[in-house]
Amino acid sequence: MLRVANVSKEYPRSGMALRDVSFEMQKGEFVFLVGHSGAGKSTLLKLLTMAERPTTGEVRVSGYSSFSIKPREVPHLRRRLGIVFQDFRLLPDRTAEQNVAFALEVTGTPNAQIGPKVARLLTQVGLASRATAYPHELSGGEQQRVAIARALANDPFLLLADEPTGNLDDRATHAIYLLLREINARGTSVLMATHDVAILQRAQQRCIELDHGQLVFDGNDMTALVASMRGRRP
């Protein structure tokens, strides 16, 4: 489903953001992506959405290769991915339901299907009662739920979450994590970048660690991972 093979990424002025990174992710997996600030997590996610291309090596996502994908095919790939960011990125002048509906409108979903689907998605993320609220009327955790509902609108096979709990307190963080687990249990693969050690310690699942652009850990021994993270300073 996803394969990163010997990928390096060099930015013109800041040097190597990723160095010879290789890993695979199977359908249905939930994988954490960890690393200190500047370790290369966002760069890796940008390579997976093909917003950036590797300097060397290959990224394959859902049958598309970074070697051969054509610019006009990139939007097709993006539609099959759900993307969630730390800062939510909701449209401020649209309500929760309008934000989710927008993702369906742009992919040409028939109007008659949009209303029921938005209602289903907001129910899934526990926000049905706040459908008509604007982003500024919602807490950070609620805004992230809207963003997750929007990311799920086109039934992605993979959800990429870039520090989705970075702006949230412990309680909201845990709730968003549980929501992502539930989404994963329904069949969507999830790759979640985080540096929240508390979440990692509670979870027992696969984790990939980047350090200065290199993949230094890939496994599900959380004790070893947390020790590895603590041993590294940015």
Ligand X SMILES: Nc1ncnc2c1ncn2[C@@H]1O[C@H](COP(=O)(O)OP(=O)(O)OP(=O)(O)O)[C@@H](O)[C@H]1O
Asked if 19 touches ligand X (CB under 6 A), the answer is: no
Under the binding rule (CB under 6 A), the answer on residue 37 touching ligand X is: yes
**Contacting range for ligand X; rule: CB under 6 A; set: 38-46, 169-177, 183-191, 224-232:** 38-46
Residues in the chain: 234
User: Among 28, 38, 126, 140, which residue sits at the site for ligand X (rule: CB under 6 A)?
Assistant: 38
The 8-class DSSP code of residue 128 comes to: G
Strands laid side by side in the 64-65 sheet: 15-25, 2-11, 56-61, 64-65
Residue from 19, 32, 40, 130 that binds ligand X (CB under 6 A)? Answer: 40
Nearest distance from C-beta of residue 232 to ligand X, angstroms:
12
Start-to-end CA distance of the chain, whole Å, equals 31
* Backbone phi and psi for residue 84, each to the nearest 5 degrees, phi listed first: -130, 135
Residue from 30, 32, 42, 164 touching ligand X (CB under 6 A): that is 42
* Contact track, ligand X, 50-79, x by CB under 6 A: ------------------------------
- CA–CA dist 34, 122 (Å, integer): 29
The letter for the amino acid at 57 is: G
Of 2, 39, 122, 138, which one interacts with ligand X (CB under 6 A)? 39
Question: Which residue, 109 or 214, is less far from ligand X as judged by CB?
Answer: 214
Instruction: Using the Cα atoms of residue 102, residue 106, residue 107 and residue 110 in order, give the sign of their dihedral.
Output: positive
CB of 120 to ligand X, least distance (A): 32
Measure the CA dihedral 199/213/156/133, to 10°. Answer: 60
Q: Is the dihedral of CA 222, 34, 69, 20 positive or negative?
A: negative
Counting residues that bind ligand X (by CB under 6 A) gives: 12
As given in the structure block, the two tokens for residue 225 are 């991972």
Region binding ligand X by CB under 6 A among candidate stretches 33-41, 67-75, 90-98, 175-183: 33-41
Structure-token match 């500024």, residue found: 136
Binding residue (CB under 6 A) for ligand X from 7, 21, 31, 41 = 41
Contact between 57 and 8 under an 8 Å Cβ cutoff? The reply is yes
14: contact with ligand X by CB under 6 A: yes
Nearer to ligand X, 125 or 190 (CB): 190
Residue ranges that bind ligand X, judged by CB under 6 A: 11, 13-14, 17, 35, 37-43
